[in-house]
Amino acid sequence: MTNTHGPAGRWRSVGTRGAVAAATVVLAGIVPGADVALGDQRTSTELTYTCAFPAGPHPVKVGIGARFPARTATGTAIRPTDVTTSVTLPDAAVAELTRLRAATTRASTRLTTEVAQNGATAQALWQGAAPSVPLTPAGGVVLRATGEVPTVTANSAGALTLTAAGLTLDFRPVTTEGGTTDPATLSVPCALAPGAKGLLATVPVGPAASPAAPAPSTLATGPGNGGGHGPAESAPTVVAPPAQSAKPAATAPECRGDTTQPLALSAYATGYADVTKMSGASLIPVFCAQVVQGPNRLKRIEVRPGVFELHLLQSSTGRLDYRGRAQTPPGPATFLTFGFMPTTATMTLEQTGPMAIDSDLNNTAGHGETYIRIPLVLRVSDVKVNGTPLDVGPNCRTSAPLYSADPDPAHDTKDHMVLLGVLKKGTDTVWRGYSLSRGGPLDGSVTIPPFSGCGVGEDLSPLFTASVSGPANTVKQNQGAPCASGIPDDPAKLCTADKQPTTVPPPLR
């Protein structure tokens, strides 16, 4: 694999020949090289914060870097890119985490930025996630958080400034054995040290060439963005990135990628399954997917007056991986037996055959679709009805894989689930949605077959069939950006040192 960038992914398969090679050359000239246009003002600020750890305050060094446009016009959204927040923990702060028996920790950052122009102000919340790092006994621990941040639109001419304010660090420590600590999370508020100057950037704003469209009415008033404090007609407008409506799972399982296969990827995913008969949703815990990409191949080129379209196809294969088994981690589920009896259980999705990933990308038209087909059996264990254990035995599961109506008649064999991810390029030239090497949301609808093998001494399968089985059960998954474990370099910093993904996505509803 190479690390050639493109809107559908960060890596392009190697070994393409003939017409496909020619198409790739053409494609490189017509497709933008990144998801957003980068500005030409790179800023880097070093600040000292005082952070209120449980045992007392500790000084923490924080480096904040981002890229902004050198200047812009009124009504044009300023989109900070390449945003990083690097937090260096002193030994005393590391000791507080190790006293919890923590060996490593992930963290997320919440940085409040003050946006000001012509006396009007607003706030924008910059959120980032840092991959797991070891808690070394001395020498300092550095957490490097990255993430998308809100856009800012200046509604009048004049210099616009962005300044760092309050910071919160949310730690998720993990023990040597891979378990959670007590407490499982630690939230630490931080304030700028007295006298510290938190200026991040100044962007000159000139008048628009033509009247700008009215600013959105949702002016930075929600808890995710902070509140506007100046006159609504002149305050900068802050718009958050696409909402991540749920918190990430506490601890992701091990997900070491294959380093011997050049086209290998490893990625985390999670989501919810809405079960119609339950009138509720069950969380699919964060799980690991191991993927081997297939080569890009040319589907067709359409050339006619005013139109040039190029379709590329890619077929890949994948496997779930939980401690060496092709399954998701066991996760809790709650439902109502016969509509009124509260029942809890542990549910596991087990892969029973190959996972096929088929992507069709039309870069020139700004559209792509990825279909993931995977056979999964649902296993149930540790059942309690109204708090009383119910022995269902070791083999309580659906009698066949969950299945979807496949849009391709040739694949509509009713023995696999189908998930669809859509990638689109907006009028602002930004690509949004799902592709295999970017991650993103996937949607599907499945039928849950009848259960079999449930019960010890009596057949309880009809109970679960009546309570759970049936059609039209929606599934929504969210895949994080994958680690390209098969290549030695990692320019996007999406892999840990031992080739595990750094991105743990939150479940979406």
CB neighbour list of residue 479: distance below 8 Å, 6 or more residues apart: 267, 268, 269, 289, 421, 434, 439, 440, 442, 505
Burial of 7 (0-12, 13-18, 19+ CB in 10 A): buried
Please tell me whether the overall predicted TM-score, pTM, comes out greater than 0.75 for this model.
no
Same domain, residue pair 366 and 461: yes
Report yes or no on 419 lying in a domain: yes
Three-state SS letters, 378-441:
EEEEEEEECCEEECCCCCCEECCCCECCCCCHHHCCCCCEEEEEEEEECCCCCEEECECCCEEE
Same domain, residue pair 270 and 226: no
Residue 284 to residue 252: CA distance in whole angstroms: 12
Residue 438 to residue 422: CA distance in whole angstroms: 12
The pLDDT of residue 400: 97
Residue 61 to residue 391: CA distance in whole angstroms: 54
65 in Cβ contact with 47 (< 8 Å): no
The pLDDT of residue 137: 66
Same domain, residue pair 184 and 311: no
- Identity of the residue numbered 491: P
The pLDDT of residue 279: 64
Report yes or no on 97 lying in a domain: yes
In 168-213, where does DSSP find H-type helix? Answer: none
Encoding tokens for residue 289? 């997917």
Same domain, residue pair 98 and 189: yes
| Residue keyed to tokens 């630490």 | 188
Report yes or no on 290 lying in a domain: yes
Give the closest residue to 414 by CA, choosing from 443, 372, 445, 447: 447
CATH code for the domain of 192 = 2.60.40
Encoding tokens for residue 309? 């379209």
Encoding tokens for residue 507? 């479940």
DSSP code, position 260: S
Same domain, residue pair 298 and 401: yes
CB neighbour list of residue 501: distance below 8 Å, 6 or more residues apart: 255, 257, 266, 267, 268, 480, 481, 482, 483, 494, 495
Report yes or no on 431 lying in a domain: yes
Report yes or no on 1 lying in a domain: no
DSSP code, position 52: E
Same domain, residue pair 305 and 434: yes
Report yes or no on 169 lying in a domain: yes
Same domain, residue pair 276 and 400: yes
C-alpha atoms less than 13 angstroms from C-alpha of 301 in its C-beta half-sphere: 11
Same domain, residue pair 232 and 281: no
Same domain, residue pair 229 and 293: no
Number of folded domains that form the chain: 2
Report yes or no on 325 lying in a domain: yes
Same domain, residue pair 178 and 277: no
Q: Phi, psi (5° rounding) for residue 95?
A: -60, -35
Q: Dihedral of CA 228/232/237/240: which sign? A: positive
Q: Phi, psi (5° rounding) for residue 409?
A: -55, -30
Encoding tokens for residue 425? 């390029």
Identify the segments of the chain with pLDDT beneath 50. 1-39, 210-233, 243-250
CB neighbour list of residue 409: distance below 8 Å, 6 or more residues apart: none
| Residue keyed to tokens 């849009």 | 407
Same domain, residue pair 146 and 50: yes
Give the closest residue to 352 by CA, choosing from 329, 322, 371, 378: 378
Domain region containing 102: 41-207+221-239
11 in Cβ contact with 492 (< 8 Å): no
The pLDDT of residue 339: 54
Residue 226 to residue 224: CA distance in whole angstroms: 6
Q: State the maximum Cα–Cα separation within the chain, in Å, rounded to a whole number.
A: 79
Report yes or no on 168 lying in a domain: yes
| Total count of residues recorded for the chain | 509
Same domain, residue pair 469 and 336: yes
Three-state SS letters, 331-343:
EEEEEEECCCEEE
398 in Cβ contact with 448 (< 8 Å): yes
Residue 58 to residue 71: CA distance in whole angstroms: 38
162 in Cβ contact with 112 (< 8 Å): no
